[in-house]
Amino acid sequence: MHATIQPERLPRAVHELVEIFAKNDRKAWLVGGCVRDLLLGKEAKDFDFATNARPEETRSFFRRTIPTGIAHGTITVLLRGMSFEVTTLRGEKSYSDGRRPDEIEFVDDIREDLARRDFTINAIAYDLIKDELIDPFGGQLDLARGIIRTVGDPLERFREDGLRILRGARFASTLEFRLAPETEAAFEPSLDIFAKVSGERIRDEWQKALKARRPSIAFEIMARTGILRTIDAELGAYAAERRAAFAEALAAMDRLEPEFCIRLAALLRGLHADAGSSAKTAEALLRKLRSSRDEMRRVPLLIRAASTLPELERPEQWRRLARLAGHDEWENALAILRAFHPEKTKDIDAVRDKIRMDLDSGLPLTEKDLAIMGSDLIREVGLKPGPSIGRILRALFDEAFADPTLNERSVLLERAKALSKE
């Protein structure tokens, strides 16, 4: 009835690792996401192991190891060009702040280790030597039915670690599963604990949710259960008060390629009536999530560039989009507009062709794209170094931006001469 794991399809290094533990009188089980994904017939992203060997023992069994997370019992083992996280079986006692367990205790029973895991579908272990699944919480049944359910009492489990509610929303979208009703009902009463979760951990989950085929599932759940307003009040208000616009943003997100910045720009583009305010809120949100500098630059830029649909007959409109987005992002800005207006795909493709032709014929998007630079003005036009150089370059840029055919060395030098006499 249930799906099974086919041991012969696992990499040789996985077999070898398990055998090395056996030879040393210890056991290693495959656990967590890889067991779940293999049972779903998907490729496993990485193979994680749980073992009854202590971390020092694990280190002594292999030639190449890294003490990645030795404090919580995790050793990275390098074998046959692959790397595996091997974690000593843990029970978890108390959680006082809803973020991190206070104390780690090592245990000998795989079932105890599975009991501390978040969802039943993530709490299945696989014994490769016996070809046997250890599934004390009905994870296989939930996998077959497409249900996300906590191991044990949801409220208790969410109050131990507030991040779990966001993980639940994330798995709902990456797996396209439903939340068990009791599990979802415990989201709201856990928001105060969720509020203590760090920005980095939220970002990691968003990153994963935004790679899903339908990220909208996760964001719909976040909106419905209050996670969104707990992360950011303005985003929460957007989802709650402007439901139609928010729903359109979610649909647009699903249509876009699975790229963090592009999809996030689609989500946040309609936050406020004007693009400038939306871009500012987006930047503040990304800062809260400890996003990279590059993300904090790209998302607001895409929001500004994709704020309005340029008309085909209005070159100044699509040139403005290209200038705001720049060489690397203008096609992404158009992709966002296409995702919001799928019925206008043809028009938007025509705009894309116009911009391409413009760029081919010399349309500058920054002063760096001009066919001359400041030093040419000094050498060829005889200008003195100083503020007049910048002023003339700006004027030349404006002219070439309005008419790309002017972006030619001799033409620009002539214009510079004329401008310097004004």
- CA 41 to chain CA centroid, Å, is 24
Q: Which does 163 bind (CB under 5 to 8 A by kind): ligand ATP, Mg ion, none?
A: ligand ATP
Q: Is the CB of 120 or the CB of 281 nearer to ligand ATP?
A: 120
Read off the tokens for 422: 């004004």
Read off the tokens for 260: 């963090």
Q: How far is the CB of 147 from Mg ion (least distance, A)?
A: 20
Q: Which does 140 bind (CB under 5 to 8 A by kind): Mg ion, ligand ATP, none?
A: none
Q: Which does 310 bind (CB under 5 to 8 A by kind): Mg ion, ligand ATP, none?
A: none
Residue nearest to ligand ATP (CB): 33
Q: Is the CB of 33 or the CB of 98 nearer to Mg ion?
A: 33
Q: How far is the CB of 119 from ligand ATP (least distance, A)?
A: 7
Which helix (H) or strand (E) element contains residue 57?
helix 55-61
Q: Is the CB of 215 or the CB of 270 nearer to ligand ATP?
A: 215
- Cα-flanking dihedrals φ and ψ of residue 143, to 5°? -60, -45
Residue nearest to Mg ion (CB): 33
Please state at what angle helix 260-268 crosses helix 199-209, rounded to 10 degrees: 100
Residues that bind Mg ion (CB under 5 A): 33
Which helix (H) or strand (E) element contains residue 82?
strand 82-88
User: CA-CA distance, 415 to 419, in Å (whole number)?
Assistant: 6
SS3 64: coil
Q: How far is the CB of 117 from ligand ATP (least distance, A)?
A: 4
User: CA-CA distance, 279 to 261, in Å (whole number)?
Assistant: 12
User: CA-CA distance, 122 to 183, in Å (whole number)?
Assistant: 15
Q: What DSSP assignment string belongs to 88-142?
A: E-EEE--BSSSSSBS-EEE-S-HHHHHHTSSBGGG--EEETTTTEEE-TT-HHHH
Q: How far is the CB of 118 from ligand ATP (least distance, A)?
A: 4
Q: Is the CB of 225 or the CB of 278 nearer to ligand ATP?
A: 225
Residues that bind ligand ATP (CB under 6 A): 32-33, 45, 117-118, 122-123, 161, 163-164, 208
Q: Where are the beta strands (DSSP E) in 334-409?
A: none
Q: Is the CB of 33 or the CB of 364 nearer to ligand ATP?
A: 33
Q: Is the CB of 90 or the CB of 298 nearer to ligand ATP?
A: 90
Q: How far is the CB of 373 from ligand ATP (least distance, A)?
A: 48
Q: Which does 117 bind (CB under 5 to 8 A by kind): Mg ion, ligand ATP, none?
A: ligand ATP
Q: How far is the CB of 265 from Mg ion (least distance, A)?
A: 27
